[in-house]
Structure 1
Amino acid sequence: MDEVVEAIADPIRRDILEMLRDGRLAAGDIAARFPVSRPAVSRHLRVLRRAGLVRDEVVGRQRFYRLETGPLAALVEWLARFDRPGGWEHRLDALETEVYRTRRERRGRPGHAAGETRTA
């Protein structure tokens, strides 16, 4: 996962990954979209390839790249832990839901209209 994080830390590499979402592209087409040199783009592609985020295929004299999303799965799973309620937060959410459900049920019963109070 560390290699994937390092690979996507650079904005040019993130842009390359976004470009490849729609399908494979030739290395020259990728390089043409950036204001940096072709060798610089080649180095970015090499980093992405080493991290397993892209695959390359040579067809004639051209090298095509395509996106590989598999290595992102571990990162996505790790990041999702920060979005999910955990521990007490999850239990308190469940308690809040139960309290609202109980209040709705009580309001629907005869003799429990709004403003009525029970006397013993």
Structure 2
Amino acid sequence: MGDAEFVAAIRGGDAEAIRAPLEAGADPDMAGEDGLPVLCPAVAAYDASVAGELVEGGADQDRRVPDGTTTLLRAVDPGSPAVFRAVLGREPGGAARPRVRARPPGLRAPALEVGAGEGSAAAEQ
């Protein structure tokens, strides 16, 4: 599968079709036609299965995009728990993952605390 077909499968929501290319070394952070990482359209489409495949394939959830956000922040903003969990990944980094507190201008939802670092109320529960 070439890059164009890989991007088309992502945009088409075909999680099964992107698994083999990812295992064969396809770049999960490649840019689509819009210049954004291919994880962004999966998040925008609320496609947790494709987003999960990309993240498990190595996509960088913390990669900054031109508007200053990250795909992880883009997954939090619309409020889909399934997409957020998919983008967070199976091993989100535990205490090492930074807390998301501030939002860039233009994002509407209130900030969420992501990750329970040492000393946080969430870590003590």
Which is strand-richer, 1 or 2?
1
Which is helix-richer, 1 or 2?
1
Fold match by TM threshold 0.5: no
Structure number with larger C-alpha Rg: 1
TM-score for both structures, normalised by structure 2: 0.24
TM-score for both structures, normalised by structure 1: 0.25
